[in-house]
Chains A and B, each alone.
Chain A
Amino acid sequence: MTFWILATVLTLIALLSIGYPLFLRKRPSVDADSYDKSVYREQLEEVDRDLERGQISASEAELAKAEIARRLIALDELVEETQNSDKFSTAAQVTAICTFILLPIASVATYVALGDPQRADMPLQARMSADPKTQSVEELVARAEARANNNPNDVRGWKVLAPVYLRLGRADDAIIAFRKVISLEGSNSENEASLGEAITIAAQGVITAEAKQHFINATIANPKNIKPRFFLAVALGQENKFDEAIKAWETMLAQGPTTAAWYKPAEGELARIRKQAGQPSAPAIASNSQSPKLGGPSKGDIANAANMSAEDRTAMIEGMVANLASKLEEDPSNINGWLRIIRSYSVLGRKDDAIAAYSKAVIQFENNPGASKQLNDLAVAMNIQPVKPAQKLGGPSKGDIANAANMSAEDRTAMIEGMVANLASKLEEDPSNINGWLRIIRSYSVLGRKGDAIAAYSKAVKQFENNPGASKQLNDLAVAMNIEAIKQ
């Protein structure tokens, strides 16, 4: 509404600028030739001044004046009869009517076609400090990102972000975040394993040499950590080292416990490897379909991935591949896309499709030696060993946003929890931020963590006991959220 009021004001001012000269303005009219005459009179005076200063000779001045005088005379011959035209002519009336009717209509119509009067401004600062409850997952992630980028040496920010990235399918970002965590916190089993996992997911389930190294580091740091061992066993399978793989699985299963979440998937893997070992001619890679974008990075994710039926898994990857294929049809200039699809086809065992895609890509990039080499390397590698994928840096794709939207309520809560933890630690450092307190109390209440909410509220009340404004805000919130301070 404010927009339309201001727009109307603007339109009225604009109309005034045309209405004033047409209706109201009164000005004594001047002969058209008097403008010319005043120029020539000025010129005559100039000649006189130059003569006075001795800059031109008397004869030159005479000649110049004669010439200017001739121009003045010529003017009189040229100028037509000026008529008194200061009346409200038909032309002016037509213009006025057209303007006053058409200008507002045309402006509003054009604007409505092009613009969107409902759209508010979205300055970044305001979006960053908006209520987390009202924001989308993507916005929350962006805020956490901004916080992490502003304090790049604060490991907590990255620790919150990294698993969230993985959950959102942003494996490349997750890799960066986990690397940051390792560089800030140092290498430990958990971090190394997580990084290896992220790399594996980015490589569409193929355990690359790099990922493998991280898993090895993780087992060295903590031989009891099961996650890296699980992946290492998968890697052995991918490398066609069936005997070693079988051994690895058997050792893991023997150590138990049978109730662990990973136990059943490991059994499944072992069974499959045994079957493959019996038919070594089958493409080894095809058997591995450790799905890339299945679920979260938490302890449960491996179980989830493995619990999925082989058909489901394949169907999902097929869907992703089909998606990629149609993207490439639109924009065939994307070498990374081609590399990825060739790799995916190979992994899925669709050798013919892989070859077809490869041939297409070769033609597409025949003038690009760099790309041709990459393609060639991939073609060679796909028959021998898994290949490290080209890394892509970039913002969220459409798919990422879709993923975020499809996030389950649990995932969303988990993410908010992470952020709340981050906020809590911030407040411990700087307890004077009333907005932070208000936000965290609200968040705890929303998450159902009443005890925490009350504890935070009590702390905040104490912190701001000498600040009546803040105390009132806290009190209001407490009433709204139905919490009471612990009496001390």
Chain B
Amino acid sequence: MITELGHYALVLALALTLIQSVAPVWGARINDERLMASASYTSPMIFFLLFLSFSALTTAYVTSDFSLVNVWQNSHSLMPTIYKISGTWGNHEGSMLLWVLILALFAALVALFGGNLPPSLKANVLGVQAWILLSFLLFILLTSNPFERLDQVPFEGRDLNPILQDVGLAIHPPMLYLGYVGFSITFAFAVAALIEGRIDAAWARWVRPWALLAWCFLTAGISMGSYWAYYELGWGGWWFWDPVENSSFMPWLSGTALLHSALVMEKRSALKIWTVLLAILTFSLSLLGTFLVRSGVLTSVHTFASDPERGVFILMILVLFIGGSLALFALRAGRLHAGGIFAPISREGALVFNNLILSTATATVLVGTLYPLVLEAITGNKISVGAPFFNLTFGPMMIPLLIAVPFGPLLAWKRGDLYAASQRLFAVFGASLLVMVIAFAFLSDGFSLAPIGIGIAAWLMMGSMAELYLRSGYPKTGFKVAMNRLSGLPRTVWGTAMAHFGLGMSVLGIVFVTAYETENVSILKVGETTELSGYTLRLDELGPRAGPNYTEDIARVTVLVDGKVVDELVPTKRIYTARQMPTSESAISTFGFSQLYLALGEVKDKDTVVLRIWWKPLITLIWFGTVVMVFGGAFSLSDRRLRVGAPKPSVRRAKAINA
């Protein structure tokens, strides 16, 4: 009955969404307060219903109710409980349910915390959000119903895809979706503004916290996905330019651009049209990503749920929303007033520069992702546009952007002084140069670009701290005053510095691991040792082991430095019995920010095995950097500036109503 109630709640949510997609928009059109207000109540209710529905599905997973097709296909009674729970969204139907749950969550959040929004804007935003929700609820109920039942109920499930049986998967997709789908709200804001035909600085102020929230989740989601792929797929790589990764990276790039342009719009009322377009494009890219992943047009590690028939449905949604919003944009953009004027060298100018590069980078990734698909569709040739393409195009494009980052916050609004800003960054420049020279001297054997990359990372990290330092006035003001000033700084300033610092950390990690990674593939007998970058690895034991729903070959490897045992690693190779599918569980040992990465290769015989070993210097900085970025975003979000209170009703009005 729980299952059927969950199913009913899903249908009921659809019906209520249908109402919400009409009533508030109509209300805004004819200026009817009651109709406009209705969305603020239906949105949380829809979220509640979808939450019930999702919980019902989770319950079915946890109790191994194989009368549901979805559970039978993606679960196994012997799976540990955490994977039974994460199995709920480890498949197409369940993950789409999570998708709409998060769509509804954002609508509910706007309904509950959007008290500062003008009623008509709020009504339109929630109305547009309901349109998106409606189309995806229809998609679920018509093509991907997770509550479908089986007549002959089997006693055992087919198991969750083994590579998805991992803690990373338990958190990664919900995070990613929170980001992906979170940009639906900025999209809804943009479309609502276009419907109203009025966009101004206040609009940017209302949009920014939502964009920032979505951005934080998306950053965390992508980062977690990258770490998951790193340790679970056993290839030792942390980013593959896989189309699925790209499809989450594109909204991130344009979402980052959106964050920055919304800043200009709020402060200077400029870049309005551009910001609206970015808001539309960011969510369009999210939809495109969903289409690519869910339709099965791609063949990659992530396509664990694909079905071409569903693809056509999502394509229709895609065309409807992207086409519709762009058409609306074309129709209304002319009516929007251009905003403030600024000189090329100014804070605005720096942010435009940022936007130009980020959007070009987005376009590059888009081309690299779609070109092979289009080519295959037209000529039937299958080509793969891999890392070389992106390294040659995306990489160089990022360099000027990264160099420019520290300048941005130091330039004044409207008309900046590049010379003055450079002067203030002079010390940072010198220090970065020094780092570069040291890197050349100690790390490089022969010519390499890596020290330049390290220099840029140092420039980024120190440069982003420069603003804080300069604002504190230290040492002129003395320590106490400086601390006071620092703590008095708006949190957005801190947030900016943190996010930029985090970016520097990630760049440092990327440069280091790309340039100085070492690898060793050895065939080892039990008792034999091999060396890599100063670490001695000894194979102590090799043998089979049984897990709850898999069997595995394990190798016990002792890591020694100068004869002293520093760690013991147990890489394994698993066979999941239900699907007869092998996976490799790598073993990782962390030393500072660097990692030793072990993957078990072919087991030759009883006591001989192929071991792949990587030494990955400073690799964890890549992910720590993103964590710092997310903290920066969250810190910004807590700034009071982004929490404008709702206007108090005027006394006169209130009396008039009481009377």
Contacts and interface: CB of A to CB of B under 8 A. Distances in A.
B649 A114 contact: no
9 contacts: A14-B15, A18-B23, A42-B644, A103-B15, A103-B19, A121-B60, A124-B65, A142-B155, A149-B78
A121 B3 contact: yes
Contacts of A122: 65-67, 153
Contact of A53 (B35, B77, B154, B488): B488
B471 interface: yes
A393 B201 contact: no
Interface string B8-39: 11011011101100110011001111110110
Nearest to A38: B647
Nearest to A82: B31
Residue of B11, B206, B489, B646 contacting most chain A CB atoms (<10 Å): B11
Interface in B609-659: 641, 644-647, 649-650, 653-654, 656-657
Nearest to A23: B34
Contacts of B359: none
A31 B116 contact: no
Shortest Cβ-Cβ A-B pairs, 4 listed: A142-B155, A123-B63, A17-B45, A124-B64
B100 to A, nearest CB: 16
Contacts of A466: none
A63 B445 CA distance: 55
A302 to B, nearest CB: 31
B488 A30 contact: no
Identify whether the interface residues of B are mostly helix, strand, loop, or mixed: helix
Contacts of A86: 33-34, 657
Interface in A71-91: 71, 74-75, 78, 82-86, 88-89, 91
A10 B12 contact: yes
B5 interface: yes
Contacts of B654: 28
A111 B11 contact: yes
Contact of A124 (B40, B77, B145): B77
Interface in A1-45: 2-3, 6-7, 10-11, 13-14, 17-18, 20-22, 25-40, 42-43
A36 B206 CA distance: 10
Given A17-B41, A26-B657, A91 B1 contact: no
A170 to B, nearest CB: 13
Given A11-B12, A32-B118, A107-B15, A71 B200 contact: yes
A39 B201 contact: yes
Contact of B19 (A7, A28, A74, A99): A99
A55 interface: yes
Given A17-B41, A92-B34, A122-B66, A63 B414 contact: yes
A119 B4 contact: yes
B16 A103 contact: yes
B152 interface: yes
B399 to A, nearest CB: 31
Interface in B149-207: 149, 152-156, 198, 200-202, 205-206
Contacts of A22: 34-35, 38
Interface in B38-70: 38, 40-42, 44-45, 49, 52, 59-60, 63-67
Contacts of A142: 154-156
A91 B647 contact: no
Contacts of A393: 580
Contacts of A85: 31-33
Contact of A95 (B4, B8, B23): B23
Residue of B30, B31, B650 contacting most chain A CB atoms (<10 Å): B31
A3 B49 CA distance: 15
B147 interface: yes
B119 interface: yes
Contact of A38 (B52, B64, B644): B644
B60 to A, nearest CB: 7
Contact of B4 (A42, A55, A115): A115
A440 to B, nearest CB: 22
Given A3-B4, A139-B155, A119 B67 contact: yes
Contact of A39 (B3, B5, B67, B202): B202
A202 B636 CA distance: 68
Contact of B412 (A2, A60, A67, A89): A60
A451 to B, nearest CB: 33
Nearest to B153: A122
A395 B156 contact: yes
A276 B646 CA distance: 100
A18 B46 CA distance: 11
B491 interface: no
A120 interface: yes
Given A53-B488, A107-B8, A124-B66, A91 B30 contact: yes
A19 to B, nearest CB: 9
Interface in A40-64: 40, 42-43, 46, 53, 55, 60, 63-64
A452 interface: no
A401 interface: yes
Interface string B98-128: 0000000000000000001111110000000
Interface string B203-241: 001100000000000000000000000000000000000
B291 interface: no
Contacts of A13: 45
B26 to A, nearest CB: 6
A143 B156 CA distance: 10
A367 to B, nearest CB: 15
B5 A7 contact: yes
Contacts of A75: 200
B22 to A, nearest CB: 8
B1 A121 contact: yes
A110 B201 CA distance: 44
B340 interface: yes
Given A86-B657, A107-B15, A124-B77, 6 more contacts: A18-B16, A29-B649, A39-B116, A82-B31, A89-B35, A143-B155
A139 B52 CA distance: 31
Contact of B15 (A28, A30, A60, A106): A106
Contacts of B67: 119, 121-122
Contacts of A88: 34
B2 interface: yes
A38 B44 CA distance: 26
Contacts of A98: 19
A142 B155 CA distance: 6
Nearest to B75: A124
Given A7-B8, A10-B9, A119 B33 contact: no
